[in-house]
Each structure stands twice: as C-alpha cells, then as structure tokens.
Structure 1
C-alpha cells in the first residue's frame, strides 16, 4: 500500500528521509504519526527511524542534538524544526519492567518493528509513500483492534506500562483489545506495581479524558489492572461501573478525580487519600476538594444561598455539570450556573473594598476584627444589602463597626 498523499507534517520532514537515503541508509516515518494519519487524526510528533547509527546521522546533518544518543536518538535541526531520528535497535534485559538494560543498534527495520508495543504502532512509511506493515497493523486499524506485536506476555513483561497504554489507546480510538492481548493483560497485570505511580497516573488520566473513557475504565477494571494501582487495590467492593451509553466527556483532570470520588461515595478525607496516593498536583488536589465540598451542598437538593453559590466558580460548575451528567444527578446545572452569574461579585477581587481601605478609612488595625468586618461586607454585597460601590461600603462598614463595638 502507498499513501496517496503525505500530510503537511510528513512533507516538511521528507527532506530528512531523502537526505539519509541519499547517503546510503534507510529511513522511515514510524509509529504514532503513521497510525494517526491513517486514521485521519491530527499528527502530534513525527518520529523517524533509520538504519544509520547516531554517529552517521551526525555526519549527514550540520545541526544535531544528542537527545538520547545512548538509546540511538539524535535530534536533527532542519528549517527551524526539530526531528528525532532513532536508529533501528533491539532491546534486552528489562529488569525494571520499563526500560531495557541493553540496546543494540541494528540495520534491520523488521527487527526494530518487532520490539514495538502494538501492531497499529509498528507501521512505517518510506519516502515514496510505501507503507511497511510486517504485523497486520493495517488490518488491525481497519478492524479497530489493539493487538500486541508478537507475544503479548513478552511485550508487557518488557514494559509493564504498555498495559496502561493498551486501555488508554482503546478509550482514545474506540478500539477493542484483541482477545489474546487482553488475556496477556490479565496475566501480566501484577507487573504494573513495578511501575512508578507518576507513569501510571499519566496514562490513566489520558484514558479518562478520552472520548470513550467508560470503555477504558471498564477494561481497566475487568483486566485486573485496577487491583495493582494506588488506592483502588484496597477497595474492590467500591469500584464504580459507568454506563457505556450517553456518557459525557470530562473536561480536565480535576473532573476525573471528582467523578471517581463521588461515584465511590468517598469522604473528604478519603478523597484526599485518593489524590495523594495518585500523586496529583497540588492545584488539582485543591480544585478537586473544593468541588467535592460544593457537591455536598448540591446533595441537599435545595436552593443555594448567595453565600453558598459564591463558593463556586465557572470552572467548578463546568466540572460538576459533566460529573453530574455521568452520575445521573437531577440538578439543573443551567439554572445553577445562571444563578451564579447573577451574583454581584464572583470573587474577593471584585469587592470594591479591601482590608487596606478599612484600615485607612476607619482606623482599624490588622486582626480578627478586621477579618470579621470584611466577611460581613462581602455577605452584605452578596445578599443585596449594600451596593458594591466603595463609598457605600465604607459608609456601611462604619455603621457596622459601631454595632460590633
């Protein structure tokens, strides 16, 4: 099979392939860029594989960077763009179940493709557009299948993170995992505990932010991978199931953890544990816990006060809308969002008065009394007692201060 036309990304990188072949070596576009182009998807990065060894690549091009030269990767600078060129290689000795202990450079494309994870990622394209398919990758693309290259047990033993990549690709592409590959997934699942949490975290979040995340989650659970990940492995009875139909996409990572926490009926403290054990970023933790707190107000099934609505923000409401849709909540989020938009102020920065103004105008000193008065001013604005105008707020604060004394 030949490509009828190259995408722009390939066209721009084509001179790299041509320059390498002119010097007597082989060079191909490989991996995810080929897969994504054949699926009609946008290409993120163009990867190039070559029979030329790193030192040989460096003699061909005037500007190169030793990106990962020990593993055969040299970055070629070409017309203000960087392209990673990696030498064909074989790998052996995966003592950490993630990276090879030994890398051997070879001249054979076939041997290089044999070490790749899945058939749909083991495709290569020559400079003239010929697609090299040694492992039925094209047929698997057409059949929407995730299939390990060769023996699935061996591929997952070499790199246990590939198991998370399998369920992630399934959810991103809406592909099924081929039966023998899924059997290997089940068998090798315990090896996932050998992988750093940060690596698993990255694949898991990508899976959950994919268009078909429910499918990915279902396979994550049914394969047994979930039993070897932080927090979940000790909570087999509380693993939620999600409907495969009409699920709503999740807007960001915070909504992923919020969905799981609420689906599992986790307490505030348990949600903290979930976030910490998965080593989420501090901002994600703060935003998830703030949204969890607000969700507890929604569970009361009543009209929220202005002060309660003030605890939200547009991003939080967007997250809760998506999470609520996936959990079949009856909350009218349109009405809730409209009520929030009608608040006279949405955050403390919009208040026309600050602590410095009170100190200057009323002679107050920093301390509890100042904090109490500021809180009272904010509540008064939110409830419509006073307009959010500085002069009005000073006047109201002076009167309120007399009452407090």
Structure 2
C-alpha cells in the first residue's frame, strides 16, 4: 500500500477499535488500481456522524446532513462519510434525503460507476461487489445497475461519464451510451457551475478528443452554454492537435473555432460562470492571438503581453498552423526576457517628473507622453535613465 493510504491507515484502525467498519472508497481506490497519482483519500464507515465525532477529538461538520465529517488527525485532515442510502432523487440531481446504514454493500450500490464502487480495507484487501476491477481491466465505464436509473437519479453523471473518458481513456459501455443518448435532455436541469466543472476536467484530460467526439455524437453539447448551434464548429475543433494545451488555452481555441464576434466573447464566458480573472486571461490570449495571426510579434506587443501570454499565444498559433515544432515559443519568450523594461513601473521616470519638467498641469497628454517614453525605451531610442530620458524628451521637442 502506498501514500496517502499509509498515513490514513491509523484513521481506519481507530474506527475499527471503536467497534465500526471503515474502508477507503471511491476515486482513490480506482486510481490506486490504475497506478495513477493519488492526491487524497475518501473514507467510508459504519459509524454515524455523531459516533465519528465521539471517536476523534478534533472534527469539523462540513456535510453532516449527508453524513460527512472532516476529521483532523495527526496533523492531517480526512473526510469520513457514513455508509448511506439515498431516497428518491429530485431535480434529476439531488436525493430528497439520505439514510445512514451499517452495510458497506448498500453504500457502494448507490455509487455511479462500477470502477468507483470498490472499497479497500486497511490491509489492502478489496471489496468489489459490482466487478469494478473487471471494468478497470477492460477499460470500460459501466454504471452500477441500470444506466437509465443512475442517469435519471443524477443527470450530471452523463457529463461525468464523458469526463472519465477524457481523463482515463476508457470507453463507455454500449448500454451506458444508449441510456445517455436517450436521457441527454435531462442535462438541462443541471446547474451550469456543475456542468462547467465537468467540462473543464474534460478539456484537460489526456483523451479529450475522444471525449469531445462523444459530446458531439450523443448531443450532450446541445445542453452546454452557448454550444447548442455549433456542431460544425465543434467538429472543426476536433481537427486540431490540442493535446498539450492548458485549460485556458482550450477555452481560447474553442472560442476561436466558434467564430464568435468580439462583443459576444465575454457574454459566452460569463454564461459558463467562469471567474472574472479567468475571463480576462482568456480575452487577453485571444487579443494577442488575433494579432499574431496577422503579423509577427512587435517589441511593444511582447511587452504588453508578458511571458505567460506569449507562451499561450505562440502555442495556440502553432496548433492552428498545424506545426509540431515549438522552438518559436522559446525564441519569443527569450526576446521578451531581453527587454529593458517589463512593466511601466520599471521606467525611471514618473508622471510627477513630467509635470515638473514641462511645468504643466495633468491631463491626457501625461498618459500619452509616458506611453511614448515606454515605446522609445523598448525600441532602443531612449535609455532607461531619468536624466537621459529628460534629455531625449528635450531633443524631441526641439525637432
């Protein structure tokens, strides 16, 4: 057994010593079997939330109504959830209520896919009532029980299924695909934030092209913000070799393929409920990408863009051109690194200097003059020194 399981074994042992069952469950067990990196573990137990709180002195109620307690133990934190069953679902997303049970099998039975319905005890023994290991060996995504029932309970599971195709490179079992095809309209009931979370994980997966195919073939894309009338544009997106792109670069490439008007781009991203900081970054990449498609970088554009944006733009430029050589990225980034200034605050002159030198009041001219100096320094026409900048300005005024 490997970390982080090893560090968490004492947690399971303490629950067992208190008279309860406790197991590692969910994605951590799946990733362990796949030999994938594991960030944290989820623990399921027969102990009720109150019994968990009595077993551990330091706890936080983070989801007690659904049976989840955060346990602080040996300088680490663990989410521990009571075995439970769920009542009838409402809004095709949430159960009306949960019931705590003492049976591990009943708890595993409520989970989405067989590969996620495997438990492991503290000795590494697997409990796998739904043949999840076989599904992993087959690299197959198969629901626990009837796919139609699982998707009707929680329509977001359809997006999760396609997201797992992207992340794991698995295939969807035939009956699961049939159910998805039939129940796609239920995705309209799911909150945009939850759809975005799954979509962004899909965009970052190593098999994102395969997942994108499924989005198109099943019609899932029609229930994602701003994509319902863009099947052809999504087909175009598939033609690019985008396996190395980051999340924001994928959003940028998607918008490029959608051929949205500039005034519509921010609205499209806001409809996805993206954070404003990410929206601004994507808009920034797009701005310089369109410039780059028209001409090579100017010194001033390199300065305005900055290192991270240059890398993203140049990577996207090469993808759009179908190039596999990315030396130009290092070339332009190195040129940026050689610039005499990286931002306006690096200039050895301020607005107050200009007001004193020209004995004038503030106004639009001040910003224009600072921009003129900025460009002159970048182009090598002026040296970034207070006295030399003053001399250069005076010479310019005499011409």
> Is 2:284 the counterpart of 1:287?
no
> Is 2:174 the counterpart of 1:179?
yes
Pick from 191, 196, 205 the counterpart of residue 191 of structure 2: 196
> Is 2:211 the counterpart of 1:216?
yes
Cα contact 1:218–1:241 (8 A) shared by 2: no
Cα contact 2:269–2:279 (8 A) shared by 1: yes
Q: Deviations over 1:125-149 (max 9, x none)?
A: 0122210111111011112111111
Q: Between Structure 1 and Structure 2, how many residues are aligned?
A: 396
In 1, the alpha carbon distance for the partners of 2:91 and 2:395 equals 69
Task: Note the aligned Cα RMSD (angstroms).
Answer: 2.1
Cα contact 1:27–1:126 (8 A) shared by 2: yes
In the other structure, the counterpart of 1:3 is none
The Cα of 1:242 is off from its aligned counterpart by 4.3
> Is 2:364 the counterpart of 1:368?
yes
In 2, the alpha carbon distance for the partners of 1:133 and 1:139 equals 10
SS in 1 for 2:86: strand
Pick from 279, 295, 306 the counterpart of residue 313 of structure 1: 306
Cα contact 1:31–1:47 (8 A) shared by 2: yes
The Cα of 1:334 is off from its aligned counterpart by 4.3
In the other structure, the counterpart of 2:388 is 392
In 1, the alpha carbon distance for the partners of 2:232 and 2:62 equals 46
In the other structure, the counterpart of 2:257 is 263
Q: Deviations over 1:157-205 (max 9, x none)?
A: 2122212211111111111122211222222221111111111111111
- Superposed, 1:129-278 pairs within 5 Å as 129-243=124-238, 247-251=242-246, 253-278=247-272
Cα contact 1:214–1:242 (8 A) shared by 2: no
SS in 2 for 1:75: strand
The Cα of 1:49 is off from its aligned counterpart by 0.7
In 1, the alpha carbon distance for the partners of 2:202 and 2:222 equals 17
Cα contact 2:139–2:169 (8 A) shared by 1: yes
Q: 1:368 to 1:244 in 2, by over 3 A?
A: closer
Which stretches in structure 1 are left out of the alignment for 5+ residues?
1-5
Q: Deviations over 1:285-333 (max 9, x none)?
A: 2121122121222222x34432333332211122123323433356944
TM-score, normalised to structure 1, is: 0.91
Which stretches in structure 2 are left out of the alignment for 5+ residues?
none
In 2, the alpha carbon distance for the partners of 1:367 and 1:245 equals 48
202-211 or 332-341, which deviates more: 332-341
131-140 or 77-86, which deviates more: 77-86
SS in 2 for 1:310: helix
In 2, the alpha carbon distance for the partners of 1:399 and 1:364 equals 18
The Cα of 1:402 is off from its aligned counterpart by 5.9
The Cα of 1:47 is off from its aligned counterpart by 0.8
SS in 1 for 2:94: coil
The Cα of 1:243 is off from its aligned counterpart by 4.9
TM-score, normalised to structure 2, is: 0.92
In 1, the alpha carbon distance for the partners of 2:70 and 2:165 equals 30
